[in-house]
Amino acid sequence: MDINADVFDRNFKARIAIESDAGLFVRALVDAVTDRGEWGARTEHIAVGHRAVRESWQRGRSASRVTPSWFFDVVQRLAPDAVFTTDSGNGTFLAMEHLRLDVPGRFLAPVDYSCMGYSVPAAIGAKFANPGRDVVALAGDGALLMTGLEALTASSYGLARSSACFETGNSRRSRSFSARP
């Protein structure tokens, strides 16, 4: 579906091509859908699969290393109502796999162009918008190094936020966790 019919079949042959404004198309599609989220048995099947995957992640735990599963379990236990921001790369995908968020507006990620250096400024904005809520920035080591001026800005405004830095090997200067109370 596209508003511009000239794009049809450019990259691959479309089985069905619909020329439409996206808003009009979605409204028409919603009106045509009769199953409005009643998943029934599928919900439990998905939940069983999630539990099995989480159990397999827990088996990888040891006293000498922090696994992503353990990290996200602890962070969510310590900050159960937090807003999480991520950067490009593995931190975003790990957060998507491990976080269990029950309401919208608690996960901010650069899902369009996957820009590095997004999580810290996004966390600062989220903290301004939610001063009474915990905000956790999840950044890769290289992305964290791109946000020094933003961290100074947050400090100058006295914003409390936490940043977790995932060492991906791109920079040996940063280590596993840094936090500002």
pLDDT in tens, 55-97: 887 776 667 777 788 888 889 999 999 999 998 877 788 888 8
Count of structural domains within the chain: 1
Look up tokens 């691959």; give the residue. 12
Does the residue 128 lie in any domain?
yes
Does the residue 22 lie in any domain?
no
CA distance 69 to 122: 23
Does the residue 16 lie in any domain?
no
Give the model's confidence band at 3: pLDDT under 50 very low, under 70 low, under 90 confident, else very high.
very high
Q: Does residue 172 register a pLDDT over 50?
A: no
CATH no. for residue 148?
A: 3.40.50.970
Question: What is the structure's pLDDT at 35?
Answer: 63
Provide the residue range defining the domain that includes 155: 64-179
Does the residue 4 lie in any domain?
no
Does the residue 31 lie in any domain?
no
Q: If phi over 0 gives left and psi between -120 and 50 gives alpha, with beta otherwise, what is residue 94?
A: alpha
Does the residue 54 lie in any domain?
no
pLDDT, mean over the chain: 81
- Backbone φ and ψ for 62, nearest 5 degrees, come out as -150, 165
> Model pTM?
0.66
Does the residue 56 lie in any domain?
no
- Backbone φ and ψ for 2, nearest 5 degrees, come out as -155, 150
Give the model's confidence band at 168: pLDDT under 50 very low, under 70 low, under 90 confident, else very high.
low
> Cα 119 from chain centroid?
10
SS3 127: helix
Does the residue 118 lie in any domain?
yes
Look up tokens 């997004």; give the residue. 118
Distances (CA, A) of 22 to 3, 16, 27, 29, 43: 7, 15, 9, 10, 29
Q: Does residue 158 register a pLDDT over 80?
A: yes
Surface-to-core class of residue 71, CB atoms within 10 Å of its CB (0-12 exposed, 13-18 middle, 19+ buried): middle
